[in-house]
Structure 1
Amino acid sequence: MASQSQGIQHLLQAEKRAAEKVSEARKRKNRRLKQAKEEAQAEIEQYRLQREKEFKAKEAAALGSHGSSTTEVDKGTMGKMNVINESYTKNKDKVVENLLALVWDIKPEIHINYRVSG
C-alpha cells in the first residue's frame, strides 16, 4: 500500500509540475503578445508621423507657392493703388473745374435729329 500511495503522490507532483509548465507557457505567450502589440503600435505611430511629416511638407510647398503669389499680387495692387491715389490727388481740382464749367456754361443748340416740319 505504501508503494501505491507513493505512486499517487508521484503522479500528483507530476501533475503539479505540468500545470506550472502550462502556466509559465501561458505567461510567456501573453508577454510575447503584449510585446508584439507594443511593437506594432510603435510602428504604426512611426508610420503615421512619417506620413504626417510628408503631408506637412507638401502642404507647406503648396501654400508657400500660393503665399508668394499672393504677396506678389498684393504688392502689385498696392503699387497700382498708389498710382491711382497720386493721379486723383494731382487731377481732382482740374476735374472739378471742368465739370463746373460744363454745368455753368450752357450753350443751347438744336439737336441734329430735330426736324423742322413745315
Structure 2
Amino acid sequence: MASQSQGIHQLLQAEKRAKDKLEEAKKRKAKRIRQAKEEAMVEVDQYRMQKDKEFRMKQAKAMGSQSNLAEEMEAQALERITELTGSYRRCLEGVLAQVLGLVCDVRPGLHLNYRAAD
C-alpha cells in the first residue's frame, strides 16, 4: 500500500509540475504576444510617419507649383496692365482732340429724318 500511495504522490507531483509548466508556457506566450503587438505598433507608427512625410512632400510640391503658376499669372497681368497704360497714354491726346473737335465744331442744319409739316 505504501508503494501505491508513493506512486499516487509522484503522480500528483508530476501533475503539479506539468500544470506549472503549462502556466509558465501560457505566460511566455502572452508575453510574446504583447511584445509582438508593441513591435507591430512601432512598425505601424514608422510607416505612418513615412507616408505622412511623403504626403507632405507631395503637397509642398503641388502647392509650390500652384504658387509658381499664381506668380506667373500675376506677372502676366502686370505686363498687360503696363501695356494698356502705355496705350492709353499714347492715344489720350488724339482721342481728346477728336472728341473736342466733334463737340466744339457744330454745323447747324436740318436732320436727315426731318419732314416739313404741310
- How far apart, in 1, do the equivalents of 2:66 and 2:12 lie? 80
Query: C-alpha deviations, 1:25-57, integer Å up to 9, x for none?
Result: 110111111111111110110000001111122
CA drift at 1:105: 5.1
Per-residue Cα deviation, 1:84-117 (whole angstroms, up to 9, x for no partner):
444444543322133x22xx157xxxxxxxxxxx
Q: Distance in 2 between matches of 1:66 and 1:89?
A: 33
Q: Percent identity?
A: 6
| Structure 1 residues without counterparts, runs of 5 or longer | 107-118
Q: TM-score, normalised on structure 2?
A: 0.75
Number of residue pairs aligned between Structure 1 and Structure 2: 103
Query: One-letter code of the match for 2:36?
Result: K
- SS at structure 1 position matched to 2:100: helix
CA shift digits 1:43-89 (9 cap, x unpaired): 11000000111112222222212210111101221332344444444
**Unaligned regions of 5+ residues in structure 2, if any?**
1-7, 111-118
Distance in 1, Cα, partners of 2:70 & 2:82: 18
Match of 1:31 in 2: 38
RMSD, aligned CA: 2.0
